[in-house]
Amino acid sequence: MFVISIAALLLLGGGAPGLTSSSQGTAAKVLPAESRITLSDVQPEARVHIPPELGGKTPQILEIDVQRNDNPSSLPFSLEVYLEVPSPPEGSGGPQRVIVANLGFYPADSNGKFVARVSTPFEQLKRLHSGVKSDSVVLLLQLKRVHENKPWESIRVAIAPLRWKFGSAPAVVPNSRRSPSPQA
């Protein structure tokens, strides 16, 4: 099985590329940082709190472990990952997002671990929203159909609790009561 990962790293330049506004309401439930995440054709997005264990530090890496991908019709899809400020300062036009990664799956029912650099998107948010506190930033994960004009078919993607890393040492996430284990 091959898993293709396309990490979209952003470069800040005139006009804030990579920053988008969301027209969706901000009343969406935000999951705790240590949550397992399930996305589906019925619920194609989830918001997850940034772990308080990060203590305002900027992590370098985000590990996304797609443990299960039930996609019987092999619907082509991607998993888009954003840092989002759901309630930015007034006058900014609604929730603001900076893309972290756009992950593709081939074959369309494959699993895999994806690693995305998050330091650049975090720095972009700091520059664009200097008054925003780190505890108001969430991670948004969205399933997107490759062919958006076609309807959703049955799909269910299960993601392990996200792992945030500083350089080569993992942060104390997903379970802050345990010591981080070294990578094999």
Strand 96-104 and strand 77-85: the pairing is antiparallel
Q: Which of 74-88, 131-145, 149-163 has the lowest mean pLDDT?
A: 131-145
For residue 127, tell me if it sits in a domain.
Answer: yes
Whether 168 has a pLDDT exceeding 90, the answer reads: no
For residue 182, tell me if it sits in a domain.
Answer: no
Most confident of 23-32, 50-59, 154-163: 154-163
For residue 99, tell me if it sits in a domain.
Answer: yes
For residue 19, tell me if it sits in a domain.
Answer: yes
d(CA 54, CA 60): 11
For residue 33, tell me if it sits in a domain.
Answer: yes
**Average pLDDT over the chain, rounded to whole?**
77
Residues of the domain holding 65: 5-167
Q: What pLDDT was estimated at residue 99?
A: 94
For residue 115, tell me if it sits in a domain.
Answer: yes
For residue 174, tell me if it sits in a domain.
Answer: no
d(CA 141, CA 173): 18
Q: What pLDDT was estimated at residue 86?
A: 76
| CATH, residue 95 | 2.60.120
Which tens digit of pLDDT belongs to each residue from 48-94?
Answer: 998 887 777 888 999 999 999 999 999 999 999 999 987 766 666 66
User: What's the structural domain count of the chain?
Assistant: 1
